[in-house]
Amino acid sequence: MPMFQGSPLPNKTPMMELTDIGFSKGSSSSNSDDLERQTPDTIPFAKTPKFSSTKPNLFDRDLPFRYALDDYFLSEIDTAWSDLPLIACGYVSGLIDALSYNAWGNFSNMHTGNTIFIALGVSGKPDGQPMLWLKALVAVIVFIVGNVFFVYGSRYMGTLRRSTLIVSFAIQTALLLGAALLVQKQIVSPTLDRQIPIDWLQVLTISLIAFQAAGQIVASRFLAFSEIPTVVLTVMVCDLFVDTELYRRPWNSNPKRNRRLGALLSHFLGAVTAGGMAKETGLASGLWLATALKACITLGWFVWRRKD
């Protein structure tokens, strides 16, 4: 208006200043609330605390996949039907033990026999193999070390986790692969040379097999199938006939009996297979078959059903 031209603006009264401050604060608070409502404070799929920065992260788009992958491999498996891989391990044990005894004169998985060989060595027996006790002793010690390794390793990682079983059986497969390569490349002789007191390369191969055998018996314990030890038959046969419901019908009414029978037959069939392969194709082919079976079991844990 003309009356205010060229004249200074009137000074604000205290009441006017308070009013301006109130409106300013209210406007700022409203804008801040709108921004908070428009900007999500958490990532929908993340299980970590809120991010303090609003800068874009190049890996944000991978978070759902990475968390799903971690959740999948760290989850526990459903133990239903997991006795089938253990029965397959019994077949591998029969196959390997028959091959080992036929080629090198001692066992790689069944350490009851090796313990007998150690005891006979005290008196210098058997006559044809004076150093057999030493090979047996090494196999037993390696088997014990393997048990310690797989027991504490499985407990550290989580006994029934998918990743634990995958790692355990992958190690077993790798050890069998190493043994098969040693024989295939003729670094290790597939026959016993009685002119040499002890062939340490054969002892190395037996040790690889003995170490991996510990992994499958430890798995049978953690999967809670103690009726399938996978490496020995003596106790399993006794438990089979001790069972008061041995003849119970229908067939699916006694699963423990069924598992024992399955493990017994698979072990026997593995040994029969070893005899045929030793006669027709040789030791290396039998070790390759054992490696392939362990590899299939390892891959099976990748797709095994998870625990609900």
Residue 150 within a domain: yes
* Lowest mean pLDDT across 39-53, 177-191, 211-225, 236-250: 39-53
Residue 200 confidence class, pLDDT cut points 50, 70, 90: very high
Total of domains in the chain: 1
Better-predicted residue by pLDDT, 175 or 197: 175
pLDDT digits (tens, 9 = 90+) for 230-252: 988 888 889 899 998 989 889 88
Residue 43 within a domain: no
Mean pLDDT value of segment 133-149: 95
Quick check: 152 pLDDT over 50? yes
Q: What does pLDDT average to over the chain?
A: 83
Residue 308 within a domain: no
In CATH, what number is assigned to the domain containing residue 222?
1.20.1250
Sign of CA dihedral 187, 188, 191, 192: positive
Mean pLDDT value of segment 150-172: 97
pLDDT digits (tens, 9 = 90+) for 115-131: 999 999 888 888 878 78
Domain limits for position 252: 84-302
Residue 114 within a domain: yes
Residue 42 within a domain: no
Residue 57 within a domain: no
Residue 221 within a domain: yes
